[in-house]
Amino acid sequence: MSTRQIILDTETTGLDAALGHRILEVAAVELNDRRLTGNHLHRYINPGRASDDGALQVHGLTEDFLRDKPKFREISAELLDFINGAELVIHNASFDLSFLNHEFALINLKQVKHYCPSVIDTLALARELHPGKRNNLDALCDRYQIDNSKRTLHGALLDANLLAEVYLAMTRGQNSLMIDMAPAPKTAAATRRAAGQLELVVLAPSAEELDAHEKQLAELDKASNGATLWRKLAPDAAAAAKN
C-alpha cells in the first residue's frame, strides 16, 4: 500500500490564532512513497486584517497584495480535498495546526485530525536527532546541505519544498535499515568462522578506556537530558564491561 504524505506550511498575520490572527498563505506538497510527485497546492489568502510588523518582515505579504485574494472559506474545500486522508508533515506542527483548526472552526468544519489523523512534527524529530542544536528550517538546510539561497523571505510554497527535502534527508536512514539487515556475502573469513576454524581475538577495554567511555556517556546524557540509547537499551552493559 502506498504512503501518501503532505508537507504543509502556512504564513500568518501574527503568532497567535487566539488573538484573531489569520492564515494568509498556505502550501501543501505531495509525497508518495517518499517521492515528490510534483503535485502541490499553493494559495494566497485575504485574511481580512493587517499583519503584525514582525510577521510582515518575515513574509513580506502586504494588505495591498492580498486584497484581491480569496478568503479562507473560498479555498477550504480545495485544501481539504488535497490533504484528506494523508499523513501531514509540518515543522513546528502545533503552530500551523492551531491556525488551521481556528480557520476550520470559523467555517464550521471539524478539526484537522478528523481529516488527517497522523501528523509528523519535523521540529520534534530534529530535536531528537540533534539535541541542543538550532533546528529551525534554515539550520536544518545547512546541516543537510540543502540549497536555501532563495529563502530571503519566508514563503509557504518555498518552505514546504525545502521541508520536504529536509524531511527526506532526516529520515533516509529509516529506509536503509532493511538494506543493512540483509545478509552480507560470505567471505573466506566468514566461512572459516562458521566452521569453527577462525580464532577470534577479544580485546578487553582498559581502565582508561572505560573511564573515557563513561565520561562520554555522561556528556551525552547531559546534552540529551538522559535519553542516550546506551543507558536505555542496555542499562547493565556498562557495569558488565567493567567486571
Category of 154 on φ-ψ map: left (φ > 0), alpha (ψ -120 to 50) or beta = beta
Q: Which of 156, 163, 26 is nearest to 104 (CA)?
A: 26
CA gap 23, 130 in Å, rounded = 30
Pair type for strands 35-44 and 87-90: unpaired
Buried b (16+ CB within 10 A) or exposed e, 139-178: ebbebeebebeeeeebbbbbbbbbbbbbbbebeeeeeeee
Which are the catalytic amino acids?
A: 154
Residue among 68, 80, 79, 93 nearest 27 (CA): 79
Residue 166: partners with Cβ closer than 8 Å, 6 or more residues away? 91, 122, 137, 140, 141, 144, 146
Nearest one of 198, 215, 210, 216 to 239, comparing CA atoms: 210
* 79 φ/ψ angles, rounded to the nearest 5 degrees: -65, -45
With cell 512513497, the residue in question is: 33
